[in-house]
Structure 1
Amino acid sequence: MHDIRLIRETPEAFDAALTRRPGVAPVSGEILALDAARREKILAAETAQAEQNAASKQVGAAKAAGDEAEFERLRALVGAKKAEVAALKAAAAEDDAALSARLMEIPNLPFDDTPEGADEADNVEIKRWGTPRDLGFAPKEHYALPSVVPGMDFEAAAKLSGSRFVVLSGAVARVHRALAQFMVDTHVEQNGLTETWTPVLVREEMMLGTGQLPKFGEDSYQTREGWWLVPTAEVSLTNLVAGEIVEAASLPRRYVAHTQCFRSEAGSAGRDTAGMLRQHQFEKVEMVSVTRPEDSRAELDRMTGCAEGILEALGLPYRTIVLCTGDMGFGARRTHDIEVWLPGQDAYREISSVSVCGDFQARRMNARFRPEGGGKPEFVHTLNGSGLAVGRCLIAVLENGQQADGSVVLPEVLHGYLRGRTRIDAQGGLV
């Protein structure tokens, strides 16, 4: 959510930054009109309250003086002013709710160094690591590998739940679990993140706080009891500081969590229907940082490096791109996407998205910190990023490690998690 004072003080600059997002119109005029109407009613209510208080003081004097007519007039005036104050306060509250709702719908302002563009074609590559291996044969996609077919069952999942689900078993399930454990261990032991376990069912205000609601409700699932299934652990991790005033000395707070995630994939009909690239239920290792304002931009680069480091340890080629203003998410000011090489698709595909949100989420959550040495509490800055999407990482490991005989050679860093096993043979066994 945006600071109304910023819009009041610099409306032209606010609109100029906002309209760097394609298709987003200037809003300062609309916002300031709502704000002015609200403030006008508040002032009128304060004036009427003062008049009511003054008349109330005069009622007793008129009664004591025996001036019955003046007493009745003043008493009627007090009643009228009381009703007027109540009506004005109610109207101001309605305007305040309308203003807050409108502010909730406005996307975040891009950083000046976020490239402008209409869509993903205008994203800018900033790094490339590793060289895709020349397999010497026509590569298969993950779900078609002979070693994988026994352990990746889409038909059983469709029987249980419908499309865009999968049942993993045997060697494939074990490698999937090893990947998640490797990611968490690396982030905790090497990157200094705090391992965290959080619920996957959250209250509606938690989804509002991180920006999934109200605009993107169709992308998530809600239970009959009103809880929402998290589309990412960003929701639960970031909201750990919701409504809090933390000490500056406790920042940055760096969290990592391995959780199930749930997305309806609204709007993705017909995309990536084969295999497990785009699922309704998936696992992700999520990173969240809560920082002081002056530290958040550097934290974005640090978190990007943490995600890149996982892929480098696994020996998976990747590229890192900066999303342009037309491809960037609602709550982000700058986003780095990391795309891993998938031989079966002969393409780089997203495996991590790392974003800095500034104080956008913090204002929605009312998350602040107390500066060292005292002073008025300030809003924290928040960041989030995949470190990594576990299922997509499994796909990359399987496709990049595939051999001509249908087996898969597994990354060395996973061998210890697999009790010394180094590959999946062509029959699907972990050996």
Structure 2
Amino acid sequence: MTGTNTGATALDPVTITDDLSDVLVGATPTGTPAATVGDAPTLDGTTLNWTGALAVGQSVTLTYTVTVDDDVAAATILTNTVNGSAQPPGPVPPLTPPPVSTQHPVPGFELTKTADPASGSTVNGGDTITYTVTGTNTGATVLDPVTITDDLSAVLSDAELTGTPTATVGDAPTLAGTTLTWTGALAVGGSVTLTYTVTVDDDVAAGTVLTNTVTGSAQPPVDPEDPDRPVPPLTPPPVSTEHPVPGFEVTKSSDPTTGSTVRAGDTITYTVTGTNTGATVLDPVTLTDDLSAVLTGATLTGAPTASLGDAPVLAGTTLTWTGSLAVDESVTLTYTVTVDDDVAAGTILTNTVTGVAQPRGTRRTRTTRCPRSPRPRSRPSTRCPVSPSRRRPTPPPAPSSRAVTRSPTPSPAPTPAPRSWTRSR
């Protein structure tokens, strides 16, 4: 600030008052204020004051510095207004020139991204995801240019763009390779919204995560008094969405293996495994083993066990386990049956397991099921036919070391052959 005596008389006193109330809300004084004439100015609260005398043609320059706070809010305007009063000689009113102000607006640029279904929700092959990206000028200056860049490399590897991307301001965004880009300008308070949709590939692998990351850059105006001084662009933090693909696999085996024949008294041990093959927690998970075609010819032996959570429970002829599975986690159920003594030959002990798993944040469940009709070996079903013979034959006893003498049993007398008679007439 500079105060100058432009008249033909001395000015005494001269008072310069700088109102910093709209500066210090977003900045902090740095160093000590200085004056080229007289004492240094003093800061009282948010008011800087200097008082002295100026001879004809003399000037005083006050200098001070503030540092803008790191957490200054976008759209803040640091306004600084200075007033002056100078007293000429004699009983005359003081001179009061018009106030002088400076303004330094704080720019701001905000980037948001949403998706439908929401980020974190699971998706499956054939599902659609609609992305919405919004860039907003939250500051007090025009932003030009503004560039929004959406990296779709981890989306389009397992999904396809559906339809044409749109923008609410300026031209539509363009897709080059796997990068979606929009460039334009935003007035103070202005926003642009980009919208586009993808369809998840039918053959997307369980465990895949469709990750979408958007970045932005916005250029505030340069200082009109120093246009060559570079002004860095605003770069808000990247914003991402994630859509994991769930997976649930059920397998079943038996000992003896499926297809083996069994006889009365034999045991069959069944092993059922449910595995979370996806990229999200499954909760709840339910494994249901239909034993109706097993317990008609066999009896459960011992208590079923589970490697995780509570043991499965048998209600009627249905064995059920319910729990949750973290990513890559498995549960194994084990139980044994003994083939009944009176089981009919030709019976087939068929055992079919089904599974249902609920991914978190999804609109549908993952189901794994095997019908009883013959299916590939990978289906979670076992079939054990019963042999026509009863119990497996008992091996003959080992020969005794003692000699045993038996009396021979007389052979019955031969039966005379019948004689034929011929009668003559």
Interval containing the TM-score (normalised by the shorter chain): under 0.3
Compare relative contact order (CA 8 Å, sep 6+) and give the higher one, 1 or 2.
1
Please, what TM-score do these two structures have when normalized by structure 2? 0.21
Tell me which protein shows more strand as a share of its residues. Answer: 2
